[in-house]
């Protein structure tokens, strides 16, 4: 069963989340600060990190950004901040899902299950053999291992949801994919405004794979419709 790290400064909330996860068979570790979070990540492997934003030593958004520089482990933000600006900021720094505290336990567990099913391991940043490979523009995407690596062996830091979106674009190279179609490729993100969320994911993908993200050549915008992965760049499976 998956290992999950719960990071929250409130001991009662940590205990409640851990008890809920334990009740359905997950193994949980808890941390009360950003420092404790990174100590746990150094010593253990996890399939999911659940992160509060209001931590005593550092803001959760900054911690999420730091985490994404070294790991593609699935990340769920679970916080009391319900405004859209924080939600979009959380997704922009690399969270795979964003929930506000008080969420229905059944919905919470469903989203956890979906992230774990699509996830990897915090220490697993290499392509595994045997998975379906999509090659395009000097990149190889392993859609089974959820890894993206360049021809010169640079490993991109993308979340499972971002890799899902990229895989959909690559499999449909040359076709314009609407934001709604791209939303179908990810799990647990169904809150309005969906188009802005997809735009945030695309922005992060471009920062990883484009030479100049402000003038993208691989993933282009089709105004008023969605996005397209340019097909004339040796895309194969």
CATH number of residue 180's parent domain:
1.10.10.10
Q: Which of 147, 73, 77 is nearest to 116 (CA)?
A: 73
In this structure, the answer to whether residues 137 and 38 fall within a common structural domain is no
Can you give the CATH number for the domain in which 75 is found? Answer: 3.40.50.2300
Position 55 scores a pLDDT of: 93
Cβ atoms within 10 Å of 177's Cβ, excluding its own: 22
Residues 162, 209: contact at Cβ < 8 Å? no
Query: Does 58 reside within a domain?
Result: yes
Position 224 scores a pLDDT of: 84
Position 186 scores a pLDDT of: 64
Query: Does 210 reside within a domain?
Result: yes
Query: Does 128 reside within a domain?
Result: no
In this structure, the answer to whether residues 13 and 110 fall within a common structural domain is yes
Q: Which of 100, 51, 110, 107 is nearest to 77 (CA)?
A: 51
In this structure, the answer to whether residues 87 and 9 fall within a common structural domain is yes
Query: Of the residues 118, 147, 163, which one is the last residue of a structural domain?
Result: 118
pLDDT confidence band for 181 (50 / 70 / 90): confident
State how far the Cα of 96 lies from the Cα of 81, in Å rounded to an integer: 16
Position 191 scores a pLDDT of: 45
In this structure, the answer to whether residues 107 and 137 fall within a common structural domain is no
In this structure, the answer to whether residues 109 and 209 fall within a common structural domain is no
Mean pLDDT lowest among 11-20, 51-60, 153-162: 153-162
Residue 172 structural domain: 133-229
The structural domain count of the chain equals 2
In this structure, the answer to whether residues 94 and 137 fall within a common structural domain is no
pLDDT (average), residues 166-193: 72
Query: Does 234 reside within a domain?
Result: no
What is residue 99's DSSP assignment? E
Mean pLDDT lowest among 57-61, 64-68, 210-214: 64-68
Query: Does 85 reside within a domain?
Result: yes
Residues 94, 72: contact at Cβ < 8 Å? no
In this structure, the answer to whether residues 99 and 163 fall within a common structural domain is no
pLDDT (average), residues 2-22: 95
Mean pLDDT lowest among 22-26, 53-57, 183-187, 203-207: 183-187
* Strand ranges for the chain from DSSP E: 3-7, 27-31, 48-51, 75-79, 97-100, 133-136, 139-142, 147-150, 177-178, 219-222, 226-229
State how far the Cα of 13 lies from the Cα of 138, in Å rounded to an integer: 45
Query: Of the residues 83, 118, 153, which one is the last residue of a structural domain?
Result: 118
- Structure token digits, residue 71: 């790991």
Q: What is the SS3 assignment for 149?
A: strand
pLDDT at position 143 over 80: no
Position 88 scores a pLDDT of: 85
pLDDT at position 232 over 70: no
State how far the Cα of 92 lies from the Cα of 88, in Å rounded to an integer: 6
Q: Report the DSSP beta bridge partners of residue 100.
A: 79
Query: Of the residues 55, 88, 118, which one is the last residue of a structural domain?
Result: 118
- Structure token digits, residue 140: 């190889």
State how far the Cα of 160 lies from the Cα of 75, in Å rounded to an integer: 9
Residue 199: exposure state from Cβ atoms within 10 A (0-12, 13-18, ≥19): middle
In this structure, the answer to whether residues 169 and 108 fall within a common structural domain is no
pLDDT at position 221 over 80: yes
Query: Does 124 reside within a domain?
Result: no
């Amino acid at each position: 069963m998956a290992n999950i790290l719960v990071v929250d400064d409130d001991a009662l909330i940590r205990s409640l989340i851990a008890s809920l996860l334990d009740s359905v068979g997950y193994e949980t570790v808890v941390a009360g600060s950003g420092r404790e979070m990174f100590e746990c990540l150094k010593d253990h492997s996890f399939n999911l990190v659940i992160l509060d934003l209001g931590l005593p030593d550092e803001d959760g958004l900054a911690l999420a950004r730091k985490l994404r520089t070294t790991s593609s482990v699935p990340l769920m933000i679970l916080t009391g901040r319900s405004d859209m600006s924080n939600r979009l900021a959380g997704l922009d720094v690399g969270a795979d899902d964003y929930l506000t505290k008080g969420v229905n336990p059944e919905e919470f567990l469903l989203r956890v299950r979906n992230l774990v099913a699509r996830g990897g391991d915090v220490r697993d940043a290499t392509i595994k053999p045997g998975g379906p490979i999509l090659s395009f523009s000097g990149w190889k995407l392993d859609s089974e291992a959820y890894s993206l690596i360049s021809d010169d062996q640079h490993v991109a830091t993308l979340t499972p949801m971002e890799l899902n979106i990229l895989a959909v674009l690559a499999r449909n190279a040359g076709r314009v994919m609407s934001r709604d179609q791209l939303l179908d490729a990810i799990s647990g993100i169904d809150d309005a405004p969906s188009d802005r969320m997809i735009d945030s994911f695309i922005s992060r993908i471009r920062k990883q794979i484009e030479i100049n993200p402000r003038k993208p050549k691989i993933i282009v915008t089709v105004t008023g419709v969605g996005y397209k992965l340019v097909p004339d760049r040796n895309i194969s499976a």
